[in-house]
Structure 1
């Protein structure tokens, strides 16, 4: 249907139908997307997302287009700079005018990260121009405030469930950030603080988010994004020790805790080794 509609003359094309088809195609097929159709569909959906009208109907159209784009997992096969300027404009425009919904904004970042590779220019854009860590921290803090973490799953409304869903999607993008980038700054360390707060809040209410936070903190510790002293001072390690004593822990959480302890142990050994090497270096200089 997409190919047939695209082959029609310009004046005969049904643009609204095409947008609906593109969105349905990306949301349903995910990993089996035809590469030839990406170059046809993506520019059209990006055009929808660049609509700057502020009414509710336009916001919904933009949100759906960005959600569809965020579901494309094949961009790593494309040229490095493909669609970079467009998605950068969408993100920066929101940072200036706050014109996207929370879901749409998260989806825009997901689309950027779906390239599955990073090069120096892109890393600089993400860290120094678009300030991903700062934006992610603000979003997860705001979303966390909108969730009643003491309320049981069956008591949550549609809006609260959606906010938890968006929060979980942000944590997935942060995972890509920790995995793929090496340009760490103070904003990255501050992001860890927010993840720790969500980890604590979600302990009794949302195991999926709780585990995602644990994995992110573990990853940050392994990649040396966060110092062990900071985790100690922030009370995170104490929280882990307290939870380890709970009789209700399931095997999946226990395994993740044990892996976390292993990471911390390795980090402490590395720090001790570095201190010994530094001490030897100083003694050599004195001699």
Structure 2
């Protein structure tokens, strides 16, 4: 139906075509290389047109949510989306016209394209200022989520803001893994993750785990205070608690990364300096014994091998 409607010249029903494209992305997990270009161009065109109208923001939200469903492993040519998605993001940065879910979805669609197109890194980091914008959105979510609600009070339900927050972590995971360049806004983003971790530590287990598993470089974790936050978690967690093991894995990952050889003498010196700071911090606070104790007891109980 999409192909037939797209090929019509005079009687093309644009509304029907956009609806079909939207459903195609929302209801599928495997996409066709023939349909992707058609659907992306039509949805972005409609999102851009309606994005200027306040009364159409729910429609725009569904358009961008549909686009955000496209896998990061699917290559899409820049000419099909880049100018339009940049216009959508930059217009929102100036006018704040979209819903929070719309904005997150727009970023998720763009960040997922980096895997196959490294040239997008400069656009994402320095032109569109992803770290600054993500920090602003995370700070808003920190204020909106009811962190004090217990598991019993939740009754298995999750707030819309928590869903958006968890979606941001999926986007951040790709960003931290894909973007090698950083600007001065990066530390602010790491600091937001640490703040979310501290807020979530009592009642929001899923969010805490997402914070722990964020793929950030060790020196950035030190600057942002993440090492302290994770160390505190080990002290407060039970030895058979999954969180204690996640935290232990976090430290083992950090130490493993620090043992890697640098590309040159300067990087090697920086890595050694970071390693020294981390060991000093662990020894000063007594965290090293906690980590070793967690590993020993976990092995005895058969939790890890």
TM-score when scaled to structure 1? Answer: 0.81
Hey, what's the Cα distance between the residues in 1 that align with 2:112 and 2:81? 12
Alpha-carbon contact 1:202-1:209 (below 8 Å) kept: yes
Please name the residue that 1:244 is paired with. Answer: 234
Please name the residue that 1:55 is paired with. Answer: 54
Residue 10 (1) aligns with residue 10 (2): yes
Match of 1:173 among 152, 157, 171: 171
Deviation at 1:93, TM superposition (A): 0.8
Query: Alpha carbon RMSD of aligned pairs, Å?
Result: 2.9
Please name the residue that 1:274 is paired with. Answer: 269
Alpha-carbon contact 1:33-1:74 (below 8 Å) kept: no
Residue 23 (1) aligns with residue 2 (2): no
Alpha-carbon contact 1:27-1:71 (below 8 Å) kept: yes
| Larger mean Cα displacement after TM superposition, 144-153 or 95-104 | 144-153
Alpha-carbon contact 1:118-1:180 (below 8 Å) kept: no
Hey, what's the Cα distance between the residues in 2 that align with 1:243 and 1:120? 36
Hey, what's the Cα distance between the residues in 1 that align with 2:270 and 2:87? 46
Residue 123 (1) aligns with residue 118 (2): no
Alpha-carbon contact 2:138-2:192 (below 8 Å) kept: yes
Deviation at 1:116, TM superposition (A): 4.5
Which secondary structure does the structure 2 equivalent of 1:167 belong to? helix
Alpha-carbon contact 2:101-2:164 (below 8 Å) kept: yes
Distance change (3 Å), C-alpha of 1:186 and 1:4: same
Deviation at 1:10, TM superposition (A): 3.0
Distance change (3 Å), C-alpha of 1:21 and 1:247: same
Deviation at 1:20, TM superposition (A): 1.8
CA deviation string 1:230-258 (max 9, x = no partner): 35xx3x43433332234557654233212
Hey, what's the Cα distance between the residues in 1 that align with 2:254 and 2:9? 63
CA deviation string 1:17-75 (max 9, x = no partner): 22222111101112x1111011111111001211244333x101111000001111167
Gaps of 5+ in 1: 279-287
TM-score when scaled to structure 2? Answer: 0.77
Which secondary structure does the structure 1 equivalent of 2:146 belong to? coil
Match of 1:253 among 243, 254, 263: 243
Distance change (3 Å), C-alpha of 1:117 and 1:267: closer
Please name the residue that 1:192 is paired with. Answer: 190
CA deviation string 1:72-96 (max 9, x = no partner): 1167433345411111111111101
Deviation at 1:213, TM superposition (A): 0.8
Hey, what's the Cα distance between the residues in 2 that align with 1:129 and 1:193? 22
Gaps of 5+ in 2: 263-267, 274-305
Residue 66 (1) aligns with residue 61 (2): no
Residue 220 (1) aligns with residue 216 (2): yes
Please name the residue that 2:42 is paired with. Answer: 44
Please name the residue that 1:285 is paired with. Answer: none
Hey, what's the Cα distance between the residues in 1 that align with 2:124 and 2:24? 28
Distance change (3 Å), C-alpha of 1:250 and 1:83: farther
Structure 1: which 4+ aligned runs deviate by more than 6 Å? 275-278
